Copies of this chain bind each other. A is one copy, B any other.
Amino acid sequence: MAIQNAWLLRTLRDVPADAETAGHQLMLRAGLIRQTAAGMYAYMPLGLRVLRKLEAIVREEMERAGAQELLLPALQPAELWRQSGRYDVYGPELMTMTDRHNRSFVLGPTHEEAITSVMNGVINSYRQLPLTFFQIQVKFRDEMRPRSGLLRGREFLMKDAYSFHSDWDGLKRTYAVMYKAYCRIFNRCGLNYRAVMADAGAMGGDGDNHEFIALADIGEDTIAVCNSCQFAANVEKLQESLDEGTADQSETCPSCEQGKLEYCKGIEVGHTFQLGDKYSHSLGATVPGAHGRESELIMGCYGIGLSRLLATIVEQHHDQRGIIWPSAVAPYQVHMTIIAVKNEVQMKLAHQLYDRLAEVGIETLLDDRDERAGVKLHDAELIGIPIRIVVGKNADEHRVEYSERSSETKEVVHVEKALELLLQRIQLHRTHEI
């Protein structure tokens, strides 16, 4: 496995010309992704490992929140989108295709219509409710100008979830549980974010909805945050509050009326909606209530852009030398570099340590390429795995260099000490996660 591992290190020396943001540049340079068409990317093995970590965190928190996983087709009959009225709302952003029998399909950017249609045939008593489902699936959106790599792609990975209720009270209870799950997910991913009240936009619905905005200067969304209380809102929503509350368009917080508002740029990584009966009404999805009378299902929906989340983490966690992965989502925990692969002492010590790490389940990337030391150390900085072990000239004394990507300190220690240090560090992070 070691040799295959090392091959993953296909880094680029030059900054790709068309990559605007630091994160996009780093993802290309570190070999996480490769572009295949405008707004479409291949996840290379190193990038896919991070994506799988994100999926695992999301899956765990969705299941903790009581949601069940299913998987719907990507292709949806266009008729469903005409029934809900969204075929025209989405317009040219909707990717469509026609089959050999001339039937039209939508390449789903989201699945409200599809799941409402499936569940209408399945939910047959209010006693089954509430029910929440989620899926992790490829989505499509024909962006006019795809940009910033995975931040705004045309084919991307999402976690979308949908909850079904017999009344609004039920929806509000599940919504609160999902809101907490979202906070746990973004905290575990090491994201600096704010949850803000937002507008429903193309999704529609009567109830509250929240955007989860990761703070980043290159973001396309602007949010206002009070420097005194917990108030945070997107700017459109803020205009509403200000108009309603006071004619004075000042920078005083409309909630506590004391703090000042600060405006920040951010990236939307999640969105939760209280849809109400928007889709069940247009698609005729009903359930018999306690007294036998059919009533429309009340719904919520909850999305996280997983490929965008991956890109956002890189935007927030890097320096001039490369990525600095948070432990919980790092592609590997340990990056071990062998300085001279033709030196038998170094090779032997490195492989012994590699095997011991593998035994206790620690994922290690072993760089045993026959390359100059400088190239390999440079790649380790770029790829940004949390813990680095360099096996070099001190190998004959069983000593290695231990360092962490997030710190400037390097120390040459006995291999047993290095093992102890890295186990401590990994244990520390695992404890923090739970």
A92 CB contacts on chain B under 8 angstroms: 100
Q: Bound complex: CA of A155 vs CA of B137, how far in Å?
A: 13
Report A16-43 CB contacts with B as 1/0, cut-off 8 Å.
Answer: 0000000000000000001011001111
A131 lies within 8 A of chain B by Cβ: yes
CB distance from A56 to the nearest CB of B (A): 12
A66 CB contacts on chain B under 8 angstroms: 1, 4
One of A74-82, A213-221, A315-323, A421-429 contacting the partner: A74-82
CB distance from A120 to the nearest CB of B (A): 11
8 A Cβ contacts from A121-166 to B? 121-122, 128, 131, 133, 138, 140, 142, 144, 154-155
A70 and B44 within 8 A (CB)? yes
CB distance from A430 to the nearest CB of B (A): 19
Q: Bound complex: CA of A34 vs CA of B37, how far in Å?
A: 34
Complex copy number for this chain: 2
Q: Most chain-B Cβ atoms within 10 A of its Cβ — which of A41, A68, A121? A: A68
B48 and A70 within 8 A (CB)? yes
Contact of A100 among B8, B76, B142, B155 (CB under 8 A): B142
CB distance from A26 to the nearest CB of B (A): 17
- Ordered by A's residue number, 21 sampled pairs between the chains whose C-beta atoms are within 8 Å are A4-B68, A4-B131, A34-B118, A34-B121, A34-B122, A36-B72, A36-B76, A37-B77, A42-B73, A43-B71, A44-B122, A45-B68, A45-B70, A45-B133, A48-B69, A51-B71, A74-B138, A75-B154, A75-B155, A95-B99, A97-B97
Q: A77-B37, A99-B142, A155-B74 are in contact. Are A118 and B42 (CB under 8 A)?
A: yes
A334 lies within 8 A of chain B by Cβ: no
A122 and B10 within 8 A (CB)? yes
A252 lies within 8 A of chain B by Cβ: no
CB distance from A306 to the nearest CB of B (A): 11
A107 lies within 8 A of chain B by Cβ: yes
A77 CB contacts on chain B under 8 angstroms: 36-37
Contact of A97 among B48, B96, B122, B144 (CB under 8 A): B96
CB distance from A108 to the nearest CB of B (A): 11
B128 and A7 within 8 A (CB)? yes
A34 CB contacts on chain B under 8 angstroms: 118, 121-122
A406 lies within 8 A of chain B by Cβ: no
A75 and B140 within 8 A (CB)? yes
A114 lies within 8 A of chain B by Cβ: yes
**Nearest B residue (CB) for A138:** B74
CB distance from A276 to the nearest CB of B (A): 23
**Nearest B residue (CB) for A129:** B7
Q: A36-B117, A122-B34 are in contact. Are A95 and B95 (CB under 8 A)?
A: no
- Nearest 7 Cβ contacts at the A-B interface: A97-B97, A43-B71, A40-B73, A45-B68, A92-B100, A42-B72, A73-B155
Contact of A107 among B44, B70, B97 (CB under 8 A): B97
Q: Most chain-B Cβ atoms within 10 A of its Cβ — which of A42, A69, A72, A96? A: A42
A117 CB contacts on chain B under 8 angstroms: 36
Q: Most chain-B Cβ atoms within 10 A of its Cβ — which of A4, A37, A71? A: A71
A70 CB contacts on chain B under 8 angstroms: 42-45, 48
Report A82-112 CB contacts with B as 1/0, cut-off 8 Å.
Answer: 0000000000110111011001010100000
